[in-house]
Structures are given as C-alpha cells and as structure tokens.
Chain A
Amino acid sequence: MKRERTAWTFVTPALMVIGVFFALPVLAAFALSLTDFDLYALANLKNLRFVGFDNYRDVLAAPLFWKALLNTLYFVAVGVPLSLAASLGAALLLNSPLARFRGLFRTALFAPVVTTVVAVAVIWRYLFHTRYGLINYALVHLGIAPIDWLGDPLWSMPAIILFAVWKNFGYNMIILLAGLQGIPPDLYEAARIDGASAWQRFRFITLPSLRPVLLLVSVITVAGYFQLFAEPYVMTRGDPLQSTVSVLYYMYEEGFKWWSLGRASAIAFLLFALTLAVTRVMLYLSRRGERR
C-alpha cells in the first residue's frame, strides 16, 4: 500500500493543476453560460442571475454571430484544403530521391511554424499593403491590378487564409513526410515494373498509404483553424465590414471588451460543439468510406 501512496505523489500535482485550471473551468464555463454574468456581477456577485438558455437564444439571434460563423467556416473550408495541399506538395518534393539538401530545405520550409504568429502577422500586414506592399508590386508586374487586400471585404479573408497557409503548412508537412517515409519502396518498384505512370503510383500507392495520416492531420487542422483569433486581431481587427470577425474574435469582444461573460461563455460552448461535431463527422465519413 505504501507503493500505491508513493505512486499518487507522482501524479497528484499534475492532476490537481489539470483539475483546477482546466476541468473545473470547463464545467464553470457551462454554468456561466446559463447566467447573465456581466460588469455588475463582476463588481458584486449578488447581481448574478440564472437565465437558463437565454444567452444561447440571444447569441443565435445576433446577426454578428452568424456573420462570424460564416467567416470562420469560410476560413476553415478554404484554408484547410489549401494548407493540406501545400503540406502534401512540399512533403512530396522533400521525399523525392532526386531532391538535394533535403535537411536544409526541410528546415527552411518549417521555419514559419516556430515563429510568433503576432510578429509574422505584422510582417504580412505590410506585405499586403495596398500601395507599398510587395504582393501588389508583384501583381502589377504580372499585369494584374493592385488589390486592396486588407481593406476590401472581398479580399480580407483570402489574405488571412494566404497568411495562415504560409504560417502553418510546415507542421503537417513534417507529419506527412514521416508518413511518406513509412511507405515500403517495394510497392513503388512493383508498380514501376507493371508500367504504372508517376500519377498512377501517386493515386494508387501514395494516397491510400497516407490515408490514416491525412485523416489525422485534417482533423487536427480543422480543429485548430476553428480557433482563428490572432490573425484577424493583428491584421484587420475584424474589419473591413466585419468580414474577418471569427467566432473566437466575437467571443473575445463580447467577453473582454463588453464584459458579457455569460454570453461569451455561450459563444465558446457553441464553437466547441461545432468543432466537435465537424471533426466527428469527418471521422465518421472516413470510416464509412473505408468500408466501401
């Protein structure tokens, strides 16, 4: 029994931290979302009232919530496939036996991942500058009219997506690269002897072998992209015309600008439920596709 007690001394500190600063707040967030916790309650808890699901009703009736939701879905629906395509393309290049200096290129392509998102968002804000930005300078050279990237509601989200792809693709690239290296070379050899083209080898060997890894990185990336926040906070402040307000940005403003902490908790829970639902559906569809 002494052994059991000693074992508990190893796990208790970590479990306490996770219990008090993670599990408890999750439960409290749900409880808070059922109250009208605001600036008055912050001053004196006596002003706190239980309001049932009113916060959820109010949030779902707010046009800005739907706007933020659509913006976030746009970011996820376009950003995730683009990021994954970039990751896969880069991983294939790095995995090619013909590529030289692979370690060096791998480091170069991975560098944006370890940078601070706020700091690189500041750089990209200037790269996207309408008049002095290098991106428009390059476009003009290609004969394309300059774009008001961060000032035009049509282009603000594509700009943020481009930035996010640049910042994040290296992460999945490494995981996909590990997946590619796990494919037995005999498979390719056999296919080559059978006369399969490069495209056929990619389509019938590489893609099916990568399937579990691709599913893993898709789910991780979708869950991560739903939490869009720092990019619009630094690059656009949610503007122009609220075209880059994400759900999390909306939650932040409701909670820490207007101090409607009850409503903000409801928004956080809606986002959580949505993320969970989407990733569950992805896993379900992939399992069904496998059986077929």
Chain B
Amino acid sequence: MNPRAAKAIINGVLIGVAAVVLFPLLWMVSVSFMQPGEASAFPPPLLPAHATLANYHELFARAGMGRYLFNSLLIASAITLLSLAFNLSAGYAFAKLQFSGRERIFQVLLGALVVPAQVTMIPLFLLMKWLHLVNSYGGVIVPALASVFGIFLVRQYARSIPDELLEAARLDGAGEWRIFLRIVLPLLKPIVVTLAIFTFLGSWNDFMWPLIVLSDQGSLTAPVALAALSREHVQDNELMMAGSVVTILPVLILFLVLQRHYIQGLMLGGVKG
C-alpha cells in the first residue's frame, strides 16, 4: 500500500472513531436545549429547532440540582484536600523515614489492594450509623480520607528525593515536619497535582457508596440525585440531558484543563485510579 493511502485510511478511521465516541456527549448537549418532548420523535432530531434554557431552569428551580451540585463540590473538595494531607505524609514516610516494620506494613497495605471496596460497604454502613454519620457529608468523606493507592503513588515518586538533601536539612537543625513542608512538598508538586485530580474526579463520579450512605434529599450528591431523577422522569429526555450536562461538565472541564497531569499519572502508575 502506498504511504499516502495508508495515511488517509488511518486518519479517516481516527476521525470516524472519535466522531462515534464523542457523539453521545455532543448529542446530550444538543438535546438539553430542546423543548420538552422534542427529542421523542422519529427520526430523532440532532439539533434543537428553537434552543431553550427551559430544562436548565426547571432543573435548578424545581428539581433542586443546585443543591446537589453544591453537595458534590463540597464533598469532592473536602476529600481531595484532606486525603492529600493524609496520603502525602504517609507516602513520604514510607519512602524516606525510618521506623520499625516499615516494609512489612507497606507490603500488607499493597496486599489490601486486591480487596474490592464493595466488600466493606455493609459493615461500613453500620459503622457510619453508629457514628451518626449516615445522611451527612461526613459519611462520604471520612472513609475516603486515606487510600492505599494514594500512599503507593506518593511513595513511588518520593523515593527519587535524594537522602543527602534531607540529611543536610537535619544537620541544619530543621525538624522533620518542617523538612516535609518546606523541602519535600515543593519537590512532590507534580504528584500532588496528579493525585488531586484523580481523587477529585473519583469522588465526584463515585456512585455506589454515596447511594448507600445518603438518602436524605438535602444531602444527595449530583450522581445519586440524577439516578433518582432519571427513575422518576423516564419520559423527560430533555430535562435528564440537562441534568447529565451539569453533572459531567465540571469534571470534563477540570480534565481538559489538567489532562497532561492526569494522563502522565496514569502512565506512571498504571494502576486503577
């Protein structure tokens, strides 16, 4: 085959695949601007005849989506900030600080990676009930405060910090926490960004645990509320599409802005994020 034909075929296929992959997302945006009922026609319309914001109005004014998005934002931000603090300090210690049993404890943590989170959900629910955290932000946030994956990622990265640097700081009389905050954290910046995106996207998109631990209308996250809405409003395509748009848009934008860090982290870790 001559190279020009090969080039045309490969790029043609890529364009075709990208079109098929992106189509559902683009169609979602288009339908969200249609009049109620407009999408239920044959053949299905691709673009709204008269674009309207009515679905978004309905979504925020009557379905309370603003509250759910706020809940999601608050929960995902809290998990991201707090778990970064827990995972960064632990990951750094496993890489660079001496304490008895360090390697053994780390091996046990790695072994725990094979246990799916779903196994813990029933006792965790009872524990949360006992702690009075069911139906509260805390019920979603507290179990996510530290993760083996996060500790692992930080440890792998922190191992490249030269010991001489830390020793020199110690000779100058700096305390361990001061060294961590002043010297180590700036060096860990790339992995901090990567881990922050992973954690934020993961918490925002999480479904099963929030579904279990949140049932009070006011405390629902956007995905849980959307699932409930979609069960009530099976026929309201346009409204549901607007709901999907506002649920997906924040994470999609965040990804597009910071994708370099996200994809680098994926290639480095190669482990489920």
Binding site for B on A (CB under 8 A): 3-4, 6-11, 13-15, 17-18, 20-26, 28-29, 32, 90, 93-94, 96, 98-100, 105-112, 114-120, 122-127, 131-134, 137, 166, 170-171, 174-175, 177-178, 213, 216, 220, 223-224, 226-227, 229-230, 233-234, 237, 248, 251-252, 255-256, 261, 264-265, 268-269, 271-272, 275-276, 279
Docked-complex contact B115 and A272, CB < 8 angstroms: yes
> Does B119 lie at the interface of the complex (its beta carbon under 8 Å from any beta carbon of A)?
yes
Inside 8 A of A105's CB, which chain B residues have their CB? 14, 18
Q: A10-B89, A261-B126 are in contact. Are A4 and B21 (CB under 8 A)?
A: no
Q: Chain B: which residue is nearest A269 at the CB level? A: B119
Inside 8 A of A170's CB, which chain B residues have their CB? 21
Inside 8 A of A108's CB, which chain B residues have their CB? 18, 21-22
Docked-complex contact B97 and A137, CB < 8 angstroms: no
Inside 8 A of B223's CB, which chain A residues have their CB? 116-119
Q: A109-B18, A137-B43, A174-B267 are in contact. Are A93 and B122 (CB under 8 A)?
A: no
Question: Distance in Å from the Cβ of B5 to the closest Cβ of chain A?
Answer: 10
Identify which of B56-64, B185-193, B202-210 touches chain A.
Answer: B202-210
CA distance A246 to B147 in the complex (A): 26
Inside 8 A of B148's CB, which chain A residues have their CB? 18, 22
Interface bits B27-53 vs A (CB < 8 Å: 1, else 0):
110010000000111111000000000
Docked-complex contact B99 and A8, CB < 8 angstroms: yes
Docked-complex contact B247 and A11, CB < 8 angstroms: no
Query: Which range contains the number of B residues in contact with the other chain?
Result: 35 or more
Which of B180, B207, B267 is close to A118, meaning CB atoms less than 8 Å apart?
B207
Binding site for A on B (CB under 8 A): 3, 6-7, 10-11, 13-14, 17-18, 21-22, 24-25, 27-28, 31, 39-44, 86-87, 89-90, 92-94, 97-100, 105, 109, 112, 114-127, 142-143, 145-148, 151, 175-177, 180, 201, 204-205, 207-208, 211-212, 222-224, 226-227, 230-231, 237, 240-241, 243-244, 247-248, 251-252, 255-256, 259, 262-263, 266-267, 270-272
CA distance A78 to B52 in the complex (A): 41
Docked-complex contact A109 and B17, CB < 8 angstroms: yes
Q: A120-B25, A230-B227 are known contacts; what are 16 more A-B pairs with Cβ within 8 Å?
A: A4-B98, A10-B180, A13-B86, A14-B145, A18-B112, A21-B143, A21-B145, A107-B259, A116-B204, A116-B207, A123-B24, A123-B244, A132-B44, A134-B44, A230-B208, A256-B212
CA distance A134 to B46 in the complex (A): 9
Most buried by A among B115, B231, B271: B115
Question: Distance in Å from the Cβ of A34 to the closest Cβ of chain B?
Answer: 13
Which of B90, B122, B224, B271 is close to A15, meaning CB atoms less than 8 Å apart?
B90
